[in-house]
Amino acid sequence: MDVSVIIVNYNTLDLTKGAIQSVYQRTLGCSFEIIVVDNHSDEDPSDIPRAFKDVKFIQSHKNVGFAAGNNLGIEQASGDYILLLNSDTLLKNDAISLVFNYLRSNSDVAVASAKLEYPDGVIQHVCQRFPGLKYQMIELLRLQKFWSKEKRATVLLGAFFDHKTPCFADWVWGTFFMFNRELLKQFPNGKLQETFFMYQEDVEWCLHFSRLGFKIAYRPEAEVIHMMGGSNGPKNAMMKKNEEIFLKMHYSPWEIFLIRGLERMLKLSRLTKS
């Protein structure tokens, strides 16, 4: 088996069924299986195994969150590669085969993601940099104004990058997140960290891969529609809380103080500019 596609479902029955259908329709160039983990939804998810007989269906006894839910799926996976796929996605082309073949040919790359688009075609900012003083100082001093468009995109990524060409990033969103299963042997307990219930886990996983010496790749030839927000509820408070936890785990108090100080200065700078 080439790829195990893992979809965590939580009260997104119709979206999940659409994602499953798109995987079956679009994936032609590799062998795959689909594993759906239901995170103790309020709605009845039994329609999924009834509608898709070949899908492995796992029912969690409680909502364990995104990371732990994916680990439940990984435990039952037989693929050489793992794809974590959000339930609010639709494949536009054979994205899974394209990314699978890329990873298989590039052993120095741990994770590869696809181009994500809103339903109206606007490209989402999948490629990001880790939190750090360097990039905040660049923006605060507006050094990017003196750079070419290409340099701004390469150095800063995020909204500065048009996401139309392949690149390497510090981290990519967990929406479409493929990696070689063998790499999990280099993770604590042989599985993805479950530090965060939801949000920020993709940053932590990419940081771990990076510290092992691997690259994180973005492959825009693989195209995916991402409804964004369709597979979760209110998130701002949780995202901020998890970002704070992440900083405390991986940065010194002095670095956190400087990062937060620069963030405040950047906000003031943007307000003044507007």
pLDDT, average across residues 144-167: 66
Residue 87 predicted with pLDDT over 80: yes
pLDDT at 274 over 60: no
Domain presence at residue 49: yes
The Cα-based distances of 73 to 6, 23, 68 in angstroms read 6, 17, 9
User: Which residues, in sequence order, are bridge partners of residue 81?
Assistant: 3, 180
In a domain, residue 229? The reply is yes
How many structural domains are present in the chain?
1
Distance CA(58)–CA(19), nearest Å, equals 17
Residue 91 in domain: yes
Residues 178-201 pLDDT 10s: 999 999 999 888 887 766 666 678
Domain-located, residue 187: yes
pLDDT bucket at 128, cuts 50 / 70 / 90: confident
Is position 146 within any domain?
no
* Torsion, CA 151, CA 156, CA 162, CA 165, rounded to 10: 70
What residues make up the domain containing 209?
A: 3-126+163-233
- Rounded-to-integer distance, Cα 114 and Cα 123, Å: 11
Give the length of the chain: 274
Which one has a higher pLDDT value, 170 or 90? 90
pLDDT of residue 37: 98
* CATH code of the domain containing 104: 3.90.550.10
Q: Could you tell me the pLDDT band of residue 202, with boundaries at 50, 70 and 90? A: confident
Lowest mean pLDDT among 4-8, 125-129, 157-161, 189-193: 157-161
Query: Does residue 215 fall inside a structural domain?
Result: yes
Q: What's residue 255's pLDDT?
A: 72
- Kindly state the helix (H) or strand (E) to which residue 168 belongs, with its residue range: strand 167-169
What does the pLDDT read at residue 242?
66
Contact 176, 116 (CB under 8 A): yes
pLDDT over 70 at 66, yes or no: yes
CA distance 74 to 85: 12
For residue 226, pLDDT over 90 is answered with yes
Q: What is the mean pLDDT of the chain?
A: 85
The reply to whether 132 falls in a domain is no
* 264 inside domain: no
Which residues, including other chains, have CB under 8 Å from residue 138's CB and lie 6 or more apart?
A: 144, 155, 156
